[in-house]
Amino acid sequence: MAKTSEALIIIPAFNEEGSIASVLCECRKYVPGVDLVVINDGSRDRTEEICISNNINVINLCVNLGVGTALQTGYKYAHRKGYKYLIQLDADGQHDPSNIPAILSALIESGYDFVIASRFKDKNKYTGGRVRNIGIFFFSRILSMIIKEKLTDPTSGFRGMNDKILEYCVTDNYNFEYPDANFILALHKAGFKFKEVPVIMRQRKFGKSQHAGLKPIYYVLKMILSLFIVSLRSK
């Protein structure tokens, strides 16, 4: 396991007052001593207040800039502070912090650069919406064919990375509105080593998904275009 000073957990959050406290509590339970920072992406509820009351470092974005910008803000913070390992998870409670030690182990002991927590690996079953599952399957098949390596959950936001990935992410290489399958393809083309670890993901209890309403259609179109653009880039 990494020294507590070497690892950082970043949690992007937008209006997650119903779940953020329990997520923070579980992180402290399963990886005690590891630093935490919440990227408050322009929340209009009590998200910031709850984090401060739990003695959590908060980086506030003045308006809602989206998950891609919130994540890169966390990456830049981690890189500036010199962390060797970073774990990112959502603030809505779907990502179980008990899986963080397994992700860190894959980074530190197995030497992978990038680790994806997969809800489908090793025949795990995820009871999400049918449309969402079809989308995940679609992108996993496309990405697997492109990189010639099987991936089951390229849209998972529960991930870990080392400082080499952080170095890559704080440059202009990282310009993803939705850093999912397209981001993994970019990492593959840059020569980084990655793997998936199986996890059980939970259902959202509070708040609203970033892919609510017509956003899934926009997301699919943006992701297809982004995959095409990234695939054309030279190594």
Residue 22: other Cβ atoms inside 10 A: 14
Report how far residue 89's alpha carbon sits from residue 10's, in angstroms, rounded to the nearest whole number: 7
> Could you give the number of structural domains in the chain?
1
Q: Is residue 109 part of a domain?
A: yes
pLDDT one digit per residue (tens) for the chain, 235 residues: 455 579 999 999 999 999 999 999 999 999 998 999 999 999 999 999 999 999 999 999 999 999 999 999 999 999 999 999 999 999 999 999 999 999 999 999 999 999 999 998 876 666 666 666 777 888 899 999 999 999 999 999 999 999 999 999 998 888 888 889 999 999 999 999 999 999 999 887 765 555 454 577 777 888 888 888 888 775 5
- The 3 state secondary structure assigned to 113-164 is CEEEEECCHHHCCCCCCHHHHHHHHHHHHHHHHHHCCCCCCCCCCCEEEEHH
Whole-number pLDDT of residue 164: 97
Q: Is residue 2 part of a domain?
A: no
Give CA angle at 211 (206, 214), nearest 5°: 125
Give CA angle at 51 (46, 55), nearest 5°: 145
Q: Quick one: 50 exposed, middle or buried, by C-beta within 10 A (0-12, 13-18, 19+)? A: buried
Whole-number pLDDT of residue 143: 92
Report how far residue 215's alpha carbon sits from residue 131's, in angstroms, rounded to the nearest whole number: 12
Whole-number pLDDT of residue 125: 64
Residue 124: other Cβ atoms inside 10 A: 14
> Per-residue pLDDT tens for 80-120?
999 999 999 999 999 999 999 999 999 999 999 999 999 98
Report how far residue 140's alpha carbon sits from residue 152's, in angstroms, rounded to the nearest whole number: 5
CATH of the domain at 71: 3.90.550.10
Q: Is residue 94 part of a domain?
A: yes
pTM: 0.88
Q: Is residue 56 part of a domain?
A: yes
Name, in order, each residue with C-beta under 8 angstroms of 88's C-beta and a sequence gap of 6 or more.
9, 10, 11, 12, 71, 74, 157, 158, 159, 160, 161
Q: Is residue 210 part of a domain?
A: yes
> Per-residue pLDDT tens for 211-235?
454 577 777 888 888 888 888 775 5
Three-state SS at 84? coil
Q: Is residue 1 part of a domain?
A: no
Domain limits at 149? 7-232
For the chain, the first-to-last Cα distance in angstroms comes to 32
Whole-number pLDDT of residue 113: 98
Task: Annotate 26-74 with DSSP letters as a single string.
Answer: HHHHHSTT-EEEEEEES--SSHHHHHHHTT-EEEEESS---HHHHHHHH
